[in-house]
Amino acid sequence: MSERKRLLVTGAAGIVGTAIRKHLKDRYDFKLLCNRTIPEDVSPSDVVVSGDIADFEAMTEAVQGVDGIVHLGLANRRTAGTRAELARGTIDVDIRSCYNIYEAARINGVEVVVFASTNHVTGLNEQDGIVSRPDLPVRPDGIYGAGKAFGEALGRYYADRMGVRVLCLRIANFNGKDEPGRFYPKGGSRWLSPRDCAQLVWRSIETTDVKFGVFYGVSLGGEEKWDLTNAREQLGYDPVDNGADEKWQAQYREDKP
């Protein structure tokens, strides 16, 4: 039996990191990068390291001894602060951390990076009623989305020129729960469930013939917003949850008394 892979997960204490640890603990061992908060549910087999994703030397050290990286960590929140503060966080931390992770992967011979991008890279398409496909031009709806678009572009460079496999997941609404938590009309769901998110991550890690790719991270029910064709065909992604399922529509219907 082959030895289990160990993944470095940045932002391991966040809601996406928590879901990945929960749903993939039987598949992988983890090296958890935490900055301020250390998760309470750390497995005995996990390694916890403390570090700042904007610190190049710290990231080069953190990446040592892992088989893949799931880069979730970021400092910038899309709705927090002024435009100038958002730009500062995007440039100083989010963009810098992408370079640090990709370069650390190259230096340490880590073959794959899964980058948590966002649907806001094409957010203006959604506002204009256009179904987004990964091959369409980026149309960010803010500084946060623009910063993630840079992370995708840099990932493409590292995949093409440096031999690091990079798979970018444009994650939609993620509440960390096993239900969407709000009403979505048919075709208009924006929800990514924890287990579908985890599935996307492990399929990205294990699909070795994809050197670079951009995939929308959403569960079923959002086909009027995002095209999942390449995720299905290239990764074998088979989402099991539906944010616009009739049971959720009945539970969350806006006119429900």
Q: Does residue 105 belong to any structural domain of this protein?
A: yes
Q: Of 144, 184, 216, 237, which residue is the catalytic one?
A: 144
So what's the pLDDT on residue 40?
Answer: 77
So what's the pLDDT on residue 43?
Answer: 83
Beta carbons of 163 and 107 less than 8 angstroms apart = no
Q: Does residue 41 belong to any structural domain of this protein?
A: yes
Residues of the chain with pLDDT below 50 are 1, 76, 257
Crossing angle (nearest 10°) for helices 96-108 and 143-162: 20
So what's the pLDDT on residue 1?
Answer: 39
Q: Does residue 257 belong to any structural domain of this protein?
A: no
Beta carbons of 172 and 190 less than 8 angstroms apart = yes
Which of 141, 122, 142, 140 is CA-nearest to residue 131?
122
Distance CA 68, CA 83 (A): 34
Q: Does residue 146 belong to any structural domain of this protein?
A: yes
Domains in the chain: how many in total? 1
The number of angstroms, rounded, from the C-alpha of 39 to the middle of its chain's C-alpha atoms is 19
So what's the pLDDT on residue 219?
Answer: 98
Beta carbons of 156 and 134 less than 8 angstroms apart = no
Q: Which amino acid is at 57?
A: E
Q: Does residue 63 belong to any structural domain of this protein?
A: yes
Q: Does residue 25 belong to any structural domain of this protein?
A: yes
Could you list the residue range(s) of the whole structural domain that residue 236 is in? 6-252
Q: Which CATH number is 84's domain given?
A: 3.40.50.720
Backbone angles phi, psi at 75, to 5 degrees: -100, -25
Q: Does residue 124 belong to any structural domain of this protein?
A: yes
* pLDDT tens readout for residues 192-221: 999 999 999 999 999 999 999 999 999 999
- In the numeric block, the tokens 């989402």 are attached to 239
Distance CA 117, CA 152 (A): 7
The number of angstroms, rounded, from the C-alpha of 59 to the middle of its chain's C-alpha atoms is 18
Q: Is 28 a catalytic residue?
A: no
Query: Which residues, at least 6 apart from 100, have a Cβ–Cβ distance to it below 8 Å?
Result: 53, 54, 55, 56, 59, 60
